[in-house]
Amino acid sequence: MSINFKAYSDSWLKAVNDKDTSIMSDILSNDFVWVNDRFNFKLDKQETINWCKDTNYTALDFSCFYENDEVLVGTHNVIEPNAPDSSVIFIAKIKDKKIVSHQYLREFQR
């Protein structure tokens, strides 16, 4: 399976919104890491899958800025109960046709 922006964003939508992590599990490498340096946030593959199953966030409106065989760059919006809506920008790195990292920034002021 080839990784592109649509396949990756669809895997997040299914995982976060529908609690179906099967596609995400196939797309993420075994040494995957999800990070946000600003908040000292770091999750591995299983922790990311668990987070998707447990979160009450809603992800929507994925938009691609750039993609090639090594990197995906995009944005999406997040709805979190009892919090202002926010926007996320992320860079996902690809190696051996799997996502190896996802680094993001989330901002509340638009």
What are the pLDDT digits (tens) for 47-95? Answer: 999 999 999 999 999 999 999 999 999 999 888 888 888 888 999 999 9
Token pair listed for 32: 């995957």
Residue 82 DSSP code:
T
CATH number at residue 87: 3.10.450.50
Residue 108 DSSP code:
S
pLDDT at 108: 67
pLDDT at 110: 52
Instruction: Print the domain residue range for 40.
Output: 5-107
- Distance from C-alpha of 55 to C-alpha of 85, rounded to nearest angstrom: 15
Total domains in the chain come to: 1
- Distance from C-alpha of 62 to C-alpha of 102, rounded to nearest angstrom: 14
- Distance from C-alpha of 70 to C-alpha of 97, rounded to nearest angstrom: 9
